């Protein structure tokens, strides 16, 4: 993950699962500037993805096919990765549209 302060790589210093197992809390420290911050990564149920403010949104069958090609959507994914996947799905839709 990238540091919020300097933009360089960070390391995980502590990782804990919630008692319910729905999310993982990770304490991170920048390898360069030593800034510290916490991330919360949650398990995404099949058929859903978080929107820009973290609410879960249903993914259509065609989007699930695209997600299936690039990885398992049930793995722990940060919000940044989810945004990337959503943008990638939109771009792939544009690329795969038939031309008239």
pLDDT per residue over 4-51, tens digit each? 888 889 999 999 988 877 788 999 999 999 999 998 887 777 677 776
Region 49-57: mean pLDDT is 71
Range(s) of the domain holding residue 27? 1-42
According to DSSP, the residues that pair with 11 across neighbouring strands are 29
Look at the chain and report how many structural domains it folds into. 2
Region 72-84: mean pLDDT is 58
Residues 65, 93 within the same domain: yes
Residues 51, 36 within the same domain: no
- pLDDT confidence of residue 100: 56
In this structure, the chain runs to a length of 100
pTM of the model: 0.46
Residues 51, 30 within the same domain: no
Residues 17, 65 within the same domain: no
- pLDDT confidence of residue 76: 44
């Amino acid at each position: 993950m990238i540091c919020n302060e300097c933009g360089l790589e960070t390391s995980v210093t502590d990782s804990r699962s919630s008692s319910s197992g729905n999310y993982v809390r990770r304490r991170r420290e920048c390898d360069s500037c030593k800034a510290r911050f916490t991330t919360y990564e949650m398990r995404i149920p099949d058929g859903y993805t978080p929107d820009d403010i973290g609410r879960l949104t249903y993914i259509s069958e065609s989007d699930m096919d695209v997600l299936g090609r690039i990885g398992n959507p049930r793995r722990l994914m940060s919000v940044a990765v989810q945004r990337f996947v959503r943008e990638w799905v939109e771009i792939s839709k544009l690329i795969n549209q038939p031309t008239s």
